[in-house]
A and B are shown apart, each in its own frame.
Chain A
Amino acid sequence: MEGRHSIELALPGASIGAVAGAMAGGLTLFAGAPTGVAAVSALALAAPLALFGGLYGVLLGHGVLRPGTFGPAGLYWMAAFPLSRLLQESVAGVGGMADGLLPFVAYQAMVALGFAIGFVWMHERLMPYWLLRRAGANPRAKALLGSYVRYAEALRARKGARR
């Protein structure tokens, strides 16, 4: 049950990761690859990005990461994104590592920061709505929702103080 509760928190992040990874399919087609290879390429990126995206949600639920902060999320994706791309290149190489491993990883780590901005941005939009739906049956979701609600209540209190 505990496992299921954690996995539920993973859903928004996993969805964002999967959709972002699926975009890779179109790009592989762009490189002239046959449709089958493009599908494998998309899957090879979508799967690890979904996994790491989901893990991000679970870490939020366990209090390891804080909602909405960028720094830790940026570091997280600087490790996770190059790993995902490495996996994709090793399963369905599309010539990204032509310059060698180190320049490849360094470049991907840099792009990862941009990816992290988009990821956290989207996650912050979707997660609260998902938590609202799941809070009744999932104590972890309820606890995490609590932190979002505290933000909202503090905001309302500030509005009340306005004149």
Chain B
Amino acid sequence: MDTSNTPPATATPPVEDQRVWKAGRLEPMPIRKLPDAPPSVHILGPTVFLVALGVGMGESYMWPRLVLLFGPEIRWLFLIGVTLQAVVMLEMARYAMATGESIFSGAARVFKPLMWFFFIVAIAVYIWPGHLSAGAAAFEEITGIPWVVTAVIGLILVGVVFSLAKVIYNVLENVLSLLIGTLVLGTAVVAAMVGSWGDVATTITGMFSIGYLPPEAMSAAWFPVIVGACAFAGPSGMQQMWYTLHLRDSGAGMGAHIPKVRGLRHAGEEEAMPSRGFMFDTEDPAEMAKWKGWRRWVTFDALLLFWGITMLVTISFTVIAQSAVRIDPGVREVIRGDDREVALTAMANAVSSAGSSVLGTIFLGFIALIGLNATLGLFDSFSRGQADMTYNFVPGAKKLRMSHLYAGFLWGVIIFGILILLFGPAEGPSGILDTLAFLSTFAMGAYCVTLLLVNNRMLPKPIRPKWWTNVIIGFGAVFYLGMLFYSLFAYGVVVG
């Protein structure tokens, strides 16, 4: 039985409707029925991907580190970052659920080069297997198995699983769900045992110390680190854009009219992928009522699952980091250094030295788990995004199935990753590291601008965003791009 999808909706008979919605210069979208919204606020949904991708180094390392260095007041920036991402998530979902198209297609409808920009940025930023290193290094600490071995085996395993899966979305959602469930339960118990009302009180009041920036933070050494941490509060880089693909594949909103991507072994069973999305009749009150139901459903996901889990994990890791410094004040100095693996090991050692290696192992286990989640999610999402853009916009690509393109990108990035792990610099050539960090944050400002254009120009008026949502997304563009360029021009450094 498959209960792993977006909560099901009541069936609607196919309607042959000749009307179309013209959006941009690309093929118009036929008008079709919007499926009924899920009957209840159901906890299973594609947000699992965003949580898996989003709960990463920002939450487990960067923000605990900043709190130790600058005090809990610095967390107001985290609150802004995560809240902004929750609104971005709702707006990404608006276009994806209304059309069944990815945000990349939306960008192409506005201006095709905009989409190609994201295509190139994705390749430049995400083909380097550096993101594997933190999780695999934590695994090495626990087991002694060299991290490169774990990373290579992990890569091959990811490729095999996604190639054999009948419907990739279901497999990935099930695996990620179990991993995240374990992580959330574990961090809740950790927080319950080691934290106190006092810790939470300082964390919460810290989140409202809006405008607090100690003089030390406004320096060439630390401001870029803060910019990087803001970009990594919640999903970073292009992860929000990929979320639209998962929404579509889970059948949310008009995504129900689009076939699912299958594993390579089952590619032959895939239905033909339409070259454009669909639109529903926004003049029909019954359809609009269903639309409101879908918006309620995704809002619940954004607020409770995404915002709640991200907050919970970060607060828990901050509490652990604070305990580590209480046990061994030397950890604070190590954390000041910018070697992530050394800092994580020092934190694990500090908590281990308090009595037993068990907590140190639990801590490293969580880091390994977060690394595994991120890797599974990143490889799938990258391949999905590139396959989507290639299929829809590279001439002749439609001769292949979407599943073949997906497999091509997946194995391409895996083989490249293995070669780099064995012979090259995992994070990417050192000469372009700054450029990659710049592109990753720049993409976030760019997708805020893209969202404003797509949602306000490509959607029918009744379902366009409210003015205040536009203001928030506009603020997002200024926030990411402003901090990025301020760091670049004031300090000559990109992102830390």
Q: Please report A residues at the B interface, Cβ cutoff 8 Å.
A: 16, 19-21, 23-33, 38, 45, 66, 68-71, 81, 85, 94, 96, 98-99, 103-104, 106-108, 110-115, 117-122, 124-125, 128, 132, 148-149, 151-163
Q: Which of B300-314 contact A (CB under 8 A)?
A: 300, 304-305, 308-309, 312
CB neighbours of B358 from chain A (8 A): 25-26, 29-30
CB of B44 within 8 A of CB of A68, answer: yes
Provide the bound-state CA to CA distance between A134 and B70, in Å: 55
CB neighbours of B11 from chain A (8 A): 154, 157-158, 160-161
Partner of A117, one of B190, B312, B356: B312
Is B187 interfacial (CB 8 A cutoff)?
Answer: yes
Distance in angstroms from A64 CB to nearest chain B CB is: 15
Provide the bound-state CA to CA distance between A32 and B354, in Å: 6
Provide the bound-state CA to CA distance between A45 and B192, in Å: 11
Q: Classify the interface of chain A: helix, strand, loop or mixed.
A: helix
Q: Which of A16, A70, A121, A156 has the most CB of B within 10 A?
A: A121
Distance in angstroms from B303 CB to nearest chain A CB is: 11
With A69-B41, A94-B193 as given contacts, are A159 and B359 in contact (CB-CB < 8 Å)?
no
With A106-B197, A117-B305, A158-B10 as given contacts, are A32 and B192 in contact (CB-CB < 8 Å)?
no
Is B14 interfacial (CB 8 A cutoff)?
Answer: yes
Distance in angstroms from A101 CB to nearest chain B CB is: 11
With A70-B41, A99-B196 as given contacts, are A122 and B8 in contact (CB-CB < 8 Å)?
no
CB of B41 within 8 A of CB of A103, answer: no
CB of B181 within 8 A of CB of A121, answer: yes
Q: Which of B188, B251, B256, B355 has the most CB of A within 10 A?
A: B188
Residue interface mask B22-49, A partner, CB < 8 A = 1: 0000000000110100001111100000
CB neighbours of A110 from chain B (8 A): 200
Residue on B nearest A125 in the bound complex, by CB: B177
With A27-B193, A114-B308, A121-B177 as given contacts, are A69 and B1 in contact (CB-CB < 8 Å)?
no
Provide the bound-state CA to CA distance between A120 and B5, in Å: 16
Residue interface mask B71-94, A partner, CB < 8 A = 1: 000000000000000000000000
Q: Which of B146-202 contact A (CB under 8 A)?
A: 174, 177-178, 180-198, 200
Residue on B nearest A100 in the bound complex, by CB: B197
Provide the bound-state CA to CA distance between A157 and B184, in Å: 33
CB neighbours of A155 from chain B (8 A): 2, 5, 8-9, 251
Provide the bound-state CA to CA distance between A122 and B43, in Å: 10
CB of B257 within 8 A of CB of A122, answer: no
CB of A31 within 8 A of CB of B256, answer: no
**Pairs across A and B, CB under 8 Å, 16 listed:** A16-B185, A20-B189, A68-B40, A68-B42, A70-B300, A104-B197, A113-B308, A114-B308, A115-B184, A118-B184, A121-B184, A122-B178, A122-B185, A125-B181, A156-B8, A161-B256
Provide the bound-state CA to CA distance between A32 and B191, in Å: 17
Is B362 interfacial (CB 8 A cutoff)?
Answer: yes
CB of B196 within 8 A of CB of A103, answer: yes
CB of A30 within 8 A of CB of B178, answer: no
Is B443 interfacial (CB 8 A cutoff)?
Answer: no
Given A69-B43, A103-B198, A154-B10, 10 other A-B contacts at CB below 8 A?
A20-B189, A26-B356, A26-B359, A27-B193, A33-B355, A121-B43, A149-B1, A152-B8, A158-B10, A163-B257
Provide the bound-state CA to CA distance between A46 and B259, in Å: 44
CB neighbours of B18 from chain A (8 A): none
CB of B191 within 8 A of CB of A161, answer: no
Is B13 interfacial (CB 8 A cutoff)?
Answer: yes
Distance in angstroms from A29 CB to nearest chain B CB is: 4
Is B7 interfacial (CB 8 A cutoff)?
Answer: yes
CB of B256 within 8 A of CB of A114, answer: no
Residue on A nearest B271 in the bound complex, by CB: A162
Provide the bound-state CA to CA distance between A162 and B258, in Å: 8
CB of B42 within 8 A of CB of A24, answer: no
CB of B184 within 8 A of CB of A152, answer: no
Residue on A nearest B2 in the bound complex, by CB: A152
Q: Which of A20, A111, A149 has the most CB of B within 10 A?
A: A111
With A26-B362, A114-B191, A121-B180 as given contacts, are A107 and B200 in contact (CB-CB < 8 Å)?
yes
Distance in angstroms from B35 CB to nearest chain A CB is: 5
Provide the bound-state CA to CA distance between A119 and B194, in Å: 20
With A30-B351, A30-B356, A104-B197 as given contacts, are A114 and B312 in contact (CB-CB < 8 Å)?
yes
Residue interface mask B41-64, A partner, CB < 8 A = 1: 111100000000000000000000
Partner of A85, one of B9, B192, B256, B351: B192
CB of A125 within 8 A of CB of B178, answer: yes
With A68-B7, A161-B13 as given contacts, are A29 and B189 in contact (CB-CB < 8 Å)?
no
CB of B1 within 8 A of CB of A132, answer: yes
Distance in angstroms from A133 CB to nearest chain B CB is: 11
Distance in angstroms from B112 CB to nearest chain A CB is: 27
CB neighbours of B184 from chain A (8 A): 114-115, 117-118, 121
CB neighbours of A157 from chain B (8 A): 8, 10-11
CB of B3 within 8 A of CB of A148, answer: yes
Provide the bound-state CA to CA distance between A152 and B200, in Å: 41
CB neighbours of A23 from chain B (8 A): 185-186, 189-190, 362
Provide the bound-state CA to CA distance between A156 and B187, in Å: 36
